[in-house]
């Protein structure tokens, strides 16, 4: 019985983070958007880096890649610092207003693929 409880506890611990992570099905891949503007906020943390960008028509929240992938591609925290001007190409959310999933980001003339 003790072993069964231990196994259930391990499974519950592993399921928590997985349940908290979202899928990409709630983004409109058929309607890509490009947003250019200054970064207003930046969170370089897991599960995904997020930034807000003042676009020409509104403020967007962009969900970027997880920090390990950002780092592996050379997109370090200072790259998405507040005040930097960026261009983000991605797909708008069908659930969250003014939010998008970024496929790529261009900063200082260099483009970083995020997927």
pTM (predicted TM-score): 0.78
Residue 12: inside a domain:
no
Tokens of 30: 């058929």
Residue 31: inside a domain:
yes
Residue 53: inside a domain:
yes
Residue-wise pLDDT tens digits, 14-67: 444 443 445 557 899 999 999 999 999 999 999 999 999 999 999 999 999 999
Q: How many CA atoms lie within 13 A of 72 on its CB side?
A: 8
- Percent pLDDT > 90 in the chain is 77
CA distance 99 to 87: 15
Residue 105: inside a domain:
yes
Residue-level pLDDT at 18: 41
Give the count of domains, the chain: 1
Query: Residue 2's pLDDT band (boundaries 50, 70, 90)?
Result: low
* Cβ neighbours of residue 47 closer than 8 Å, sequence gap 6 or more: 20, 21, 66
Residue-wise pLDDT tens digits, 66-107: 999 999 999 999 999 999 999 999 999 999 999 999 999 999
Residue 2: inside a domain:
no
Residue-level pLDDT at 7: 43
Domain that holds residue 38: 24-113
Residue 84: inside a domain:
yes
Residue 55: inside a domain:
yes
């Amino acid at each position: 019985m003790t072993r069964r409880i231990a196994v259930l506890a391990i499974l519950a611990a592993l399921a928590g983070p997985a349940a908290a992570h979202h899928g990409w099905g709630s983004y409109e891949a058929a309607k890509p958007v490009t947003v250019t503007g200054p970064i207003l906020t930046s969170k370089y943390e897991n599960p995904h880096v997020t930034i807000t960008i003042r676009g020409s028509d509104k403020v967007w929240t962009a969900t970027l890649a997880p920090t390990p992938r950002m780092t592996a591609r050379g997109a370090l925290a200072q790259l998405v610092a507040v005040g930097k001007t960026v261009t983000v190409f991605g797909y708008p959310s069908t659930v969250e207003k003014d939010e998008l999933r970024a496929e790529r980001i261009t900063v200082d003339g260099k483009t970083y693929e995020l997927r």
